[in-house]
Structure 1
C-alpha cells in the first residue's frame, strides 16, 4: 500500500510554524533518547522497529486519528515499512520521513536575519535537526560564509540565487561537533578559507590565519575580527557592520560555550570568563548576537531564526549571571553534558588528519551538538 514520503524541509516547517504532528520514532531506545525531532506542537512515541515486525496492533490505540502521523527511522526503510502497516490498519494520514533522521540532521533552512547599512543582508542557515547555525553576509555582489557545515551545496545554490560570489569562508574556531565545509567551499568556489591560528597548530592543510589584524574586505561592509577565547583557545567573534556580533560557540541565547572539548577546561575557563564578563561587557548592548549553535527548540524565534540583543542576554542568560569566579570555573568544568558524538574524530577531520568518506562523515555527525554547558 502506497504511503506518502515527506522531506526534512517540510518537517522543519511543522516545527517552525508549530503545526501539530504525531511522530512514531522506530529507532532503538538509546538512539531515541540521545536525539529526536522536537517541537512545541509535536507529540512523539518511541517504539523500536524490531518490536513491530509482526504488526502494529500493540500500538494502534496510541496513534491519534485527528493529526498527521509521521514515522521516522535512521535511514528511511524501516519507517516506510511501519507506515505501510499503519495505513493497512486504517490510519489514513500517515507519512514517512524521506532519508530518515540522517536527512533531518543535514537539512539547512536559510533565513534572513538582518539588513546591512549599504543595502546588503545577513542570512542565517539553521540546521534545525543538529542545532547548528551558519551565516552568509551578502554585500554588493560578494559574500562571506561563516561556520559552514560539511554540506556546502545549500550555500553555493543560495549565493547563485542572490547573485553574489562567495569570497571568504570563515570558521570561528576548530569545530568538534560537526565537520566544517570551509575547505570544500574554498575548493569549489575559490574563496579564501580563514581559521584562527591558535586552533590550528595541528592542522595539516594551508589556510589563512584569522586574527584581529586580518584584513577581510566585503564590498561596503565593515568586518571586524575579535579574539574571544574560551570555548577553544582560538575562538574568534565576527562583528559585522557594527550591528551583528557572530559569537561562534562562546555565547548562545540560553547558555554559554563549554571549554572542555579539547581537554583543557581548567585552563580555558579563565579565558571564557574574560571574554564573556569583560570583553563582551564592554561592547554595545544593542548588538544582535548571532551564535553558531542552539541547544533547545525554545531558542527559535517565530521565523525559525536564533538571535538576541547582547544587553538582553546579560540580564537573562544564566551563564552570564555567575558573579563569583570560582563558582563560574566550577559551573563550566563540572557536571557538563555528554560530549558530542565522535567529537575526537570530527576534530581530526577538521584538522585534515583523517579523511572519512561522505557516509562516514554523516554517521559521525548524527546526534545533538552539545557545545553548551547545559
Structure 2
C-alpha cells in the first residue's frame, strides 16, 4: 500500500473541523507527554520508534482500519520509516510532513471580522504552539500584532490582500516564542512598536508604545487605542481596535490569566496583574471581543478555528477573574504555576536583541507547549 503524506495544514483543518484522527507518535514517552498534536476527536498511541526497529507486528492490532492514521515523529524521518513498515503490513497510514518541527511552525489565518471603515482583522493560529497573532488591514495598509518568527507568512498574506505592512506591534516582550516584529519591520520599512517599560535592555531602535497611543492604519485612524495593562510583564499593553476588539496579549486568555513570573518578578507584579484584570478591564465594555495572544487547550477554539470570546463572558466564566480574596489570587499566580517555557531566558534575550541564534537553534528554543498562563 502507498504511504500517504499529510501536511500541518491538513491536520489543522481536521482539528478545526473536529474530525477523527488516530495518531501513532513514535517519539520518546517524555517528549510525547510534554507536547503532542491536540484535537478534540484525536486518539493516540505512543510507541518510541526504537521499539519498532525489529518490526511493527506487536502494534498492528492496535492500529484502527476505519480511521485516518497519522504517524508522527520529531522531524519526519522516523515516522516515514514506521509508516512504510505499517504499509507493508497491509495498513493504510500517513506520516506528518516535517514532523513536530513543522507542526510547531504552521500558522493558519482565520478572519475574525470586518471593521467599521471597511477594513478587516485576521487571527493567525499557530495551533502547534498555542500562539495567536493578528493583522489589521485598512485602505491598503496593514498592522501586525504579536507576530511569530515565521515572518514571510505575514508579508505574503499582506501582499495577497493588496496591502503594505506599515506598523508592527508587540504587546510585551515575549518569553515563550521569538518575535518576528523587528524582522518584519526591517523587511517592509514598517514602524516597530514596543512598550518602553519592557524595552529597557533592548539593543535596537523602536517606537515607544504608550498608554493612549492612537495609530493610523490607512488614511483613517481605526481607533487603534493602546491600554497600559501590566501584570504579565511590567510593560504589557492591550489594544482596543475599532471599539470592538480587545487584543489582550498575555494578560487574559479564554480559560486562564497571564502568569507574572517569566522575568522573575512574580511577587512584584502580582498586584499589577490584579489591578489590570479587576480594575482596568472591568471599566471596559463587556461587549468587547477578547483576542488573546495565546490559547491553552484545543477546546478554546471556536467552530471556525478562531480563539475569541466577549469580555462579559470571560468575567462570568473565567476562574482567574473571579477570585475575591487577594491572598488567594496571589497564591494562585505565584505558587501554583506550570513549568517555565522552554529556553524562556534565551528567548527573552533574543527578543531584546542581545543574542542572535541561528534558525536551527531558534527552532530548538521554541520546542514544546505554550506555558504563558496560570493554569
Runs of 4+ in 1 over 4 A off after TM superposition: none
Q: Give the SS at the match of 1:354.
A: coil
- Equivalent residue for 1:86? 86
Q: Structure 2: how far apart are the matches of 1:2 and 1:89?
A: 11
- Equivalent residue for 1:322? 323
In the alignment, structure 2 segments of 5+ residues that lack a partner are: none
Say whether 1:53 aligns with 2:50: no
Q: How does 1:1-374 map to 2 (within 5 A)?
A: 2-92=2-92, 94-219=93-218, 220=220, 221-374=222-375
Q: Structure 1: how far apart are the matches of 2:374 and 2:76?
A: 33
Q: Structure 1: how far apart are the matches of 2:107 and 2:342?
A: 20
Q: Structure 1: how far apart are the matches of 2:236 and 2:85?
A: 50
Q: Structure 2: how far apart are the matches of 1:55 and 1:199?
A: 53
Q: Structure 1: how far apart are the matches of 2:118 and 2:305?
A: 23
Deviations 1:45-103 (A, max 9, x none): 100011100011111111001001100000000000000000001102x1100100000
Q: Structure 2: how far apart are the matches of 1:369 and 1:38?
A: 13
Q: Structure 1: how far apart are the matches of 2:79 and 2:119?
A: 43
Q: CA deviation at 1:2?
A: 4.6
Deviations 1:351-370 (A, max 9, x none): 11111001110111011111
Q: Structure 2: how far apart are the matches of 1:313 and 1:269?
A: 20
Q: CA deviation at 1:214?
A: 3.3
Q: CA RMSD in A?
A: 0.8
Q: Give the SS at the match of 2:129.
A: coil
Q: CA deviation at 1:215?
A: 4.3
Count how many residue pairs are aligned between Structure 1 and Structure 2: 373
Q: Structure 2: how far apart are the matches of 1:3 and 1:327?
A: 53
Q: CA deviation at 1:213?
A: 4.4
Are 2:214 and 2:223, in contact at CA under 8 Å, matched by a contact in 1? no
Q: Give the SS at the match of 2:215.
A: coil
How does the TM-score come out when normalised to structure 2?
0.98
Q: Give the SS at the match of 1:183.
A: helix
